[in-house]
Chains A and B, each alone.
Chain A
């Protein structure tokens, strides 16, 4: 199974990013092979609106079955749910830490959006 973790940098030691739609990158980690790839999300970071939706699309096309992030807005959550992607929220310092929380079963799956939509303009 592949897990997408929101990150500020391209390495497992990079700081964990709490925003989903406007995360700079996703690290897509393959739990079976213990390998990962970095997916750039900088285009969505600057999107005027709908960043969460585009991020959801990027995560799904990267083949992730789960997401670990800080918060997810209503539209992104709706899209991720429709695609059958599990969403876990974490408070972690690094991406590696977020991943180990998941592996130790210490993360709770999110069943509804936990952030307000921002109307797409950072408001």
Chain B
């Protein structure tokens, strides 16, 4: 069973919840950091990377001897990554999405594919935990290939917790898609509600069951509960707005350090999710 921890709004506590869930799981568990533009589960997990693999995308390379400068590649490119100016085309690989359309369009087979590194994946283990994080290289703009590379390492036989990037655009969708269940973390503010709505719409469009965790709950989160009851969405858990959580967080300590009582609640939450999810599996 794999559970994505997502949100519309940034800074709601996805990483805090994802790392705490992995800690509370009490059995073999994978924690995957798919927030590859700014992965930060490692701040809480504190494990040195054991292996490091490059993530590459395919980009076109011109074979000048075969090129007739016909310009078909440039016309085929939806991303304006190839310019044909009467000589062999110039490829601007940072604009390339690696779709391969130019290779199909070239009538003289003057393009070949080369690999370009866009990021890397680090893996580490400690006890029952396998920690996998993706990191997009500085200056790269396309995070989905790195996110997909992280998701490819999901072991379907295990419980996997996926920390997703914020928002509702391609990176979030790529990180969430294929999950059995999505936990949407929100905060009881108008901003939190606004972005929660967008996230719910997105997750429903993808077709994955979801539930809500209200973080920094001060007991008066009617805004969120009214919306959730109107939409028929389960509120799975409320994490209290407690200064101790913030203090622990500022030291790089997780939620269970400041609120150890949450461990049983989180474990229970995993059991409940296993019942709602698309692919029920046993949680020990």
Contact = CB atoms under 8 A, between A and B. Distances in A.
Contacts of B141: 119
Contact of A50 (B86, B87, B95): B95
A57 B83 contact: yes
B95 A120 contact: yes
Contact of A49 (B74, B80, B87): B80
Interface string A68-105: 00000001001100110000000000000000000000
A50 B81 contact: yes
A79 B80 contact: no
B84 interface: yes
Please classify how large the interface on chain B is, using the bins under 10, 10 to 19, 20 to 34, 35 or more: 10 to 19
Given A49-B95, A56-B85, A78 B80 contact: no
B104 interface: no
B148 to A, nearest CB: 21
B89 to A, nearest CB: 10
B90 A79 contact: yes
B79 interface: yes
A83 B85 contact: yes
Interface string A105-123: 0000000000000011000
A47 B83 CA distance: 15
Contact of A83 (B79, B86, B92): B86
A82 B87 CA distance: 9
A87 to B, nearest CB: 14
A50 B74 contact: no
Contacts of A119: 141
A49 B74 CA distance: 14
Interface of B: 74, 79-81, 83-87, 90, 92, 95, 141
Given A50-B79, A50-B81, A57-B85, 16 more contacts: A49-B80, A49-B95, A50-B92, A50-B95, A54-B80, A56-B83, A56-B85, A57-B74, A60-B85, A60-B86, A78-B90, A79-B83, A82-B87, A82-B90, A83-B86, A119-B141
16 contacts: A48-B79, A49-B79, A49-B95, A51-B80, A53-B80, A53-B92, A54-B83, A57-B85, A60-B85, A60-B86, A79-B83, A79-B90, A82-B87, A82-B90, A119-B141, A120-B95
